[in-house]
Amino acid sequence: MSASSSSLPPVTPQADGAPPPISPTKEIPVFEFTKRKRWADLLVTELNDNIILVLSEACQVWYCGSAVTELLGWRDDELVDGDFVDLMNADDRAHFRAAFAESVRARTEMLAYVRLQCKHEFYVASNYTSAPREVLFELRGRPHYLPDGGAFQCYFAMAQPHPSRNTAMLNTFLELKMENERLEQRVAQLRAQSQALDGQGDGFFTTSESFGAADPARAGFDLGPGSMGPDADDDGPRKKAKRLAAEQHVCVTCGRTDSPEWRKGPMGPKTLCNACGLRWAKKARRTGDAEGEGDSAAQAGGSNIIF
């Protein structure tokens, strides 16, 4: 027997007709989402916040997800077969190429931050030229090789805006919480200052009262109602205005509650608004004139009667 055959592990004899032993395999968990038809395509399509990329060894775009239209304005067919580096800021290209080459060579995961250009959005640069607006992206990728350690196949990458929407919402929440804490501290400080000022004012008035009571020269000084002058008891213009504002009138003819002047009506004073009061006074005047003319005519007719 040769040496190669002697190095093989011994074979356990099996019973007649018995199948060979099956090595245990790890069961893959099954989720409800994976039970759908074309669940992989649905997963790739529904990723709106991440751009899925398949790159070649020379950074040529072989596949681009549809999320690039929403995030950058480009169509996926406009980027396919083009150089992915051309979409970046000029200052980020050299660093990305070095990190990409190292990831392909060492077969490790790559993490890079690059600025990608938008298609339809521009801004005025420092040299007064129009330049496309750029968005900072976090790009993660890993090269794909054949399982047996063969040649390079492709490079899978995924780019998402940095910070992401969830991170931006969390940062906004933390900033608002910090601002709320600062405002609460400021309110507490102002409340303490207000209480201190109120305490000082109370002490001042107490001292003034005790000073006036202890002075014998002021013991007989009477601050009666008439001591402040003849107009002290009269209401000021502000009180009169408030009193007039408190009085509510309703026109019995049209129902108005606001009028520059309230006039006398058949039901008494201030029962008609300005317009209705003028009309009623004019009508009453005409009625009075007609009655006066009738009386004078009767008197004239009576004077002509000869007894």
Token digits of residue 239? 């009180």
Q: Quick check: pTM over 0.75?
A: no
Instruction: Inform me whether the pLDDT recorded for 245 exceeds 50.
Output: yes
**pLDDT bracket for residue 299 (50, 70, 90):** low
Please, what's the b/e burial string for 77-112 (b: 16 or more CB within 10 A of its CB; e: otherwise)? eebeeeebbebbeeebbeebeebbeebbeeeeebeb
| Residue 151: DSSP 8-state | S
The residue-averaged pLDDT of 150-165 equals: 86
pLDDT of 142 reads 92
**pLDDT bracket for residue 2 (50, 70, 90):** very low
pLDDT of 293 reads 56
pLDDT of 129 reads 78
Sign of the C-alpha dihedral, residues 303, 304, 305, 307? Answer: positive
Point out the least confidently predicted range of 24-38, 54-68, 152-166: 24-38
What percentage of the chain has pLDDT greater than the value 70?
66
pLDDT of 264 reads 86
Do 263 and 274 meet the contact criterion of CB atoms below 8 Å apart? Answer: yes
**pLDDT bracket for residue 12 (50, 70, 90):** low
Q: What does each C-alpha distance from 18 to 15, 21, 173 come to in angstroms?
A: 5, 9, 67
Model pLDDT for residues 197-209, shown as the tens digit of each residue: 887 665 555 555 5
Point out the least confidently predicted range of 29-33, 215-219, 272-276: 215-219
Burial of 55 (0-12, 13-18, 19+ CB in 10 A): buried
Token digits of residue 261? 């002047």
Instruction: Inform me whether the pLDDT recorded for 214 exceeds 60.
Output: no
pLDDT of 163 reads 77
Do 143 and 104 meet the contact criterion of CB atoms below 8 Å apart? Answer: yes
Point out the least confidently predicted range of 30-44, 110-124, 153-167, 229-243: 229-243
The residue-averaged pLDDT of 153-158 equals: 92
**pLDDT bracket for residue 124 (50, 70, 90):** confident
pLDDT of 93 reads 92
